[in-house]
Structure 1
Amino acid sequence: MPDFLELPARSAKPRATGLTHVLDQGAGVAAASDVLASAAAHIDIWKIGWGTAYLDSAIEAKLALLAEHRVAACLGGTLLEIAWAQGVAADCLAWAGDVGFRYVEVSRGTVAMSRTQKRELIRRASRDFDVLAEVGAKAPGEPNPARHWPGECLADLEAGARWVVTEGRQSGTVGTFDEAGRVRPEVVEAVVGAVGERRVIFEAPRTGQQAWFVRRFGADVNLGNVALGDVLSVETLRLGLRSDTAAVPRRERAERDTA
């Protein structure tokens, strides 16, 4: 990067906070390579969404490419949920490790799974993987998330999850957001009040949502479900290089004053 601008402090990889977690909806190896060529330094976790990893004949090549760029590959929670419902969660986890996943997401938004069963799955997965535990329903109108999510987040972390992920889906219209995509601040503050912002990855696929979190928590907020094509855009939001977050007063440089 050039260095003539004054920018907010920003952690560098490997990061413990300020994570950018992207959602891969089925990109091929060549498409992934294009993204990594320009944006690998700004991507921490690459989630292979839904069951696409199960169908991708080039999954091992893609995961090897991610490893070369020091980007952690994460298996999406939906595939593990389906495997759990069919009684083959152990087989799914063994396969995930064999092909090269370092992280797995544990969720309960697709199949009927109790909080106790979810914690048991987290304990099992955390033996071999870093676990992201997602909270929230995938359908709009979930009742009282500000009341229920904090306890589930605490229990998931105690069970062995490294981070909790607040549901937003790729649409940005559920869980953390209302049906119009507006942030539900009471939900965010309840979760942060329970576990702290550093342990939370906020799914925020829309620009306005990302900007809200940056304004509220700063450049090193953890953001999830970022589209592959939006990685550099999100980094500009973090660094105040976009009007949505460019709130730093303009300062004239001495050499210009005396030129």
Structure 2
Amino acid sequence: MGPASFLTLLSRPPKPRSSGLTHVLDTGVTPAVAADLLAGTAPYVDIWKTGWGTAYLDDRIADKLAVLADHAVASCLGGTLLEIAWAQGAAEACLAWADEAGFTHVEVSRGTVPMALDAKHELVRRAADRFVVVTEVGAKDPAQQHTLAQWGDEAGQDRDAGAALVVAEGRQSGTVGIYDGEGTVREDVVDEIVDAVGLDRIVFEAPRTAQQAWFVRRFGPGVNLGNVALDEILSVETLRLGLRSDTAEVSLPVTMEPVR
């Protein structure tokens, strides 16, 4: 039985695509779990980030990255591991290891370890000759808030240093960075980053359904969403296509509106 086809839905560009990216967070699943998951969801996953240093402890990380490659999913090393390696003077060893393992992308961040902006951009330049570089803007500590100008300036400078994409910090909790402590989107911060680098170059970390829906309603199905849980890949795609009440206006005829 093939996929259902009786609805008229928005056309989503096929992979590899430059917008409408879904960036997922892997907290340490096995290669077999990754393969089983992607057997049904690979068309909807663009970037797979191994978070929390799990890749460093995983003896089968090369096997998992091979699974991702087989499904045309980019593999990204999470930024905290590189931050810790940098703090220990082992950044080059970390990049060499990631290259040998088979990562296609590397995240460069400074949300955990005190790091000057110049040092961050030097890491970007060192990584860019081997990887697609994704940078992260925003602190993980809610007590360390950027000013609006700092959000835009850092995002713009990251791009100038060689970052292909800039990730706007939200963490897995969705309560820091571009969100307040209740998980509400800080619209002024979002606007500042978009103005600085352009919508297609930003990945908004949006772990909560209400946050994902807000971005789809604000910017449309082609918005880039990050830190999506592995069990919510299809759920996020339904939001993009208007198959859920939260964004149903995307798929309803123009003469109809969803009930609120």
The reply to whether TM is greater than 0.5 is yes
> Matches of 2:144 and 2:196 in 1, distance apart?
19
Query: Which residue matches 1:257?
Result: none
1:165 equivalent in alignment to 2:167: yes
Please say if residues 145 and 177 of structure 2, whose CA atoms lie closer than 8 Å, have aligned partners that are also in contact: no
Of residues 140, 149, 152, the one that matches 1:150 is 152
Of residues 19, 22, 33, the one that matches 1:20 is 22
Please say if residues 165 and 202 of structure 1, whose CA atoms lie closer than 8 Å, have aligned partners that are also in contact: yes
Please say if residues 138 and 145 of structure 2, whose CA atoms lie closer than 8 Å, have aligned partners that are also in contact: no
Work out the percentage of aligned pairs sharing the same amino acid.
61
Query: Which residue matches 1:202?
Result: 204
> Matches of 1:135 and 1:69 in 2, distance apart?
29
Give the letter for the 1:109 counterpart. Answer: G
Query: Which residue matches 1:186?
Result: 188
> Matches of 1:32 and 1:226 in 2, distance apart?
14
Give the letter for the 2:77 counterpart. Answer: L
Please say if residues 213 and 221 of structure 1, whose CA atoms lie closer than 8 Å, have aligned partners that are also in contact: yes
Query: Which residue matches 2:131?
Result: 129
Greater CA drift, 159-168 or 6-15: 6-15
Q: Deviations over 1:205-235 (max 9, x none)?
A: 0000000000011111000000000000000
1:29 equivalent in alignment to 2:31: yes
Of residues 88, 101, 104, the one that matches 2:103 is 101
Please say if residues 25 and 48 of structure 1, whose CA atoms lie closer than 8 Å, have aligned partners that are also in contact: yes
Once the two structures are superposed, the pairs formed by residues 72-83 of structure 1 within 5 Å of their partners are: 72-83=74-85
> Matches of 1:232 and 1:34 in 2, distance apart?
14
How far is 1:147 from its partner? 2.2
How far is 1:3 from its partner? 2.6
Of residues 116, 122, 142, the one that matches 1:114 is 116
> Matches of 2:25 and 2:96 in 1, distance apart?
22
Query: Which residue matches 1:43?
Result: 45
Give the letter for the 1:213 counterpart. Answer: F
Count of paired positions: 252
Please say if residues 145 and 175 of structure 1, whose CA atoms lie closer than 8 Å, have aligned partners that are also in contact: no
Please say if residues 216 and 247 of structure 2, whose CA atoms lie closer than 8 Å, have aligned partners that are also in contact: yes
List 4+ stretches of structure 1 deviating above 4 A: none
Query: Which residue matches 2:7?
Result: 5
Query: Which residue matches 1:87?
Result: 89
Structure 1, unmatched stretches of 5+, are 253-259
> Matches of 1:171 and 1:112 in 2, distance apart?
22
Q: Deviations over 1:132-153 (max 9, x none)?
A: 0000000114334422111001
Please say if residues 11 and 220 of structure 1, whose CA atoms lie closer than 8 Å, have aligned partners that are also in contact: no
Structure 2, unmatched stretches of 5+, are 256-260
> Matches of 1:15 and 1:232 in 2, distance apart?
17
Please say if residues 141 and 174 of structure 1, whose CA atoms lie closer than 8 Å, have aligned partners that are also in contact: no
Q: Deviations over 1:178-228 (max 9, x none)?
A: 111111000000100111100000000000000000001111100000000
Please say if residues 108 and 120 of structure 2, whose CA atoms lie closer than 8 Å, have aligned partners that are also in contact: yes
Q: Deviations over 1:63-104 (max 9, x none)?
A: 001000000100000000001111110110000000100000
Please say if residues 136 and 145 of structure 1, whose CA atoms lie closer than 8 Å, have aligned partners that are also in contact: no
> Matches of 1:228 and 1:198 in 2, distance apart?
23
